Structure 1
Amino acid sequence: MEGKVVMVTGGASGLGAASVRMLVREGARVAITDLNEQAGQALAKELGMATRFWRLDVTREEDWTPAVDAVLATFGRLDVMVNNAGVGIVKDVETISLQEWRWVHSVNQDGVFLGCKQAIRAMRQCGAKGSIINMSSVAALVGSAAFPAYCSSKASVRLLTKSVALHCAQKGYDIRCNSVHPVYVETPMLDKLASVMGDAAAAKERLGKSIPLGRLGQPDEVAHAVVYLASDESSLMTGSELVLDGGMTAM
């Protein structure tokens, strides 16, 4: 990753923060973006000169252009976009409201669409070369009755990724686009999910046991996949999904 510039949405915590730390450790300069300014600024301060933080609401198209332009002005280029920002609501199809459904899709679906669009714009200014990494989920591959909006939005990310990959290939851009599909991982989002399910510790234990490997994932296990897709070592990979599910989709 030496010399590469990466932009990570939802980079202040969870999978985003783990990816930021590992990318910096591998030599990248990283633009951290998030709505959580306090956590984002703290992470940038922790990691030093290799990072900068910008506040970004991924659902607002008017926020994207100035944020990406600021990254280009600060670091001089953009090589990798990690569309990681995501949300979820634990309500089934009968109880979730249309407003809640739209909110989940605005972040998980619209935010990734805008991230892909802006990444291509920026990368074309830097030689039309780069890697777009879209954080999806095992929930895009295996349904769940408990959170249909999350499943729907993450499934959209999977096929949007393939469409973007084909578009870039057909245009002759050397811009790759792949999706990552983790199972339940120890993050603040999982903590919120577990708290809705009653006793949080017991819920997390049940979720871990539901995975064939018998445990929850760790953020660094996903960050390793992000670094691989960001690097030139994955140069033949585009339009693909990297599944980190502990065997769940094998059942």
Structure 2
Amino acid sequence: MRMEGKVVIITGAASGLGKASVEKFAREGAITIACDVDEAGLEKLREEFASLPGKVVPKKLNVTDRSAINELVKSLRDEYGHIDGLVNNAGVTRDALLQRMTEEDWDLVINVNLKGVFNMTQAVAPVMLDQGYGSIVNTSSIVGVYGNIGQSNYAASKGGVIAMSKTWAKELTRKGAKIRVNAVAPGFIKTPMTDKVPEKLIQSLEEKIPLKRMGLPEEVANLYFFLISDESTYITGQVIGIDGGLVI
């Protein structure tokens, strides 16, 4: 097991990319702190992955709640003494054309997708600085690089995630700590979010992808794992696309 004894926090853990990531890290022996607002989904996660070598620790958490985040990080530091990895995966969408987008939908997406990443990282970074190492993976999107019609809020949030990732990759190593920060930019991945997209649109999208299919959550989880693990110790400040070649 490549991550035995390591403590890794994953947000947005109850479904989709997060759930696949919890399974991946737990299979490799990690103490996986699975965070989500969906308490029922977390309980199912605990039951489903109970037999895996690593320990899955479900924690109900809203990434916009700074007080709860600070409490969680303090409890983890007190119990384990270290936090080795953070996967900022939690995200939401509220799509609409510019003229129709409400302020509430703008604020929700920015607060969860952008400020949530800031909140989690600001809380975890001091632990990693004190221990002198760590790896942070932030989930962006190809939409954050190239934009997309009807997703002003989502594109802004994911573009901001990239900017913060590059900034933190510089900031967190200034005093010699070996803390790596990278962003992952998925394309069209088969998740509960994309299950709502009409089949005709899915087929049209797949035709534009050189590999002619949507990605799987497990494929993104493998990339998260690589970037958190010691197999990527010379990679930081990067935006790594995983999109089947869509944006070649």
Give 2:26's match in structure 1, choosing from 24, 27, 42: 24
Please show how residues 1-251 of structure 1 align to structure 2 within 5 Å.
1-48=3-50, 50-125=55-130, 127-192=131-196, 194=197, 200-250=198-248
Q: 2:140–2:185: 8 Å Cα contact kept in structure 1?
A: yes
Q: 1:141–1:249: 8 Å Cα contact kept in structure 2?
A: no
Q: 1:120–1:128: 8 Å Cα contact kept in structure 2?
A: no
For residues 171 and 91 of structure 1, the distance between their equivalents in structure 2, rounded to whole angstroms, comes to: 43
Quote the sequence identity (%). Answer: 37
Q: Deviations over 1:177-201 (max 9, x none)?
A: 0000110100011124x1xxxxx22
1:208 Cα offset (Å): 2.1
Q: Give the corresponding residue for 1:197.
A: none
Further displaced range: 149-158 or 164-173: 164-173
TM norm structure 2: 0.94
Q: Deviations over 1:152-202 (max 9, x none)?
A: 11000001000011001213221110000110100011124x1xxxxx222
1:77 Cα offset (Å): 2.0
Q: In angstroms, what is the RMSD of aligned CA positions? A: 1.3
Q: Deviations over 1:202-250 (max 9, x none)?
A: 2222222232222111001101100100111100011111111111221
For residues 225 and 47 of structure 1, the distance between their equivalents in structure 2, rounded to whole angstroms, comes to: 20
Distance change (3 Å), C-alpha of 1:70 and 1:209: farther
For residues 35 and 188 of structure 1, the distance between their equivalents in structure 2, rounded to whole angstroms, comes to: 16
For residues 94 and 208 of structure 1, the distance between their equivalents in structure 2, rounded to whole angstroms, comes to: 29
Give the secondary structure class of the aligned counterpart of 1:145. coil
For residues 44 and 13 of structure 1, the distance between their equivalents in structure 2, rounded to whole angstroms, comes to: 12
For residues 19 and 87 of structure 1, the distance between their equivalents in structure 2, rounded to whole angstroms, comes to: 17
How many residue pairs align between the two structures? 243
Give the secondary structure class of the aligned counterpart of 1:248. coil
For residues 171 and 45 of structure 1, the distance between their equivalents in structure 2, rounded to whole angstroms, comes to: 42
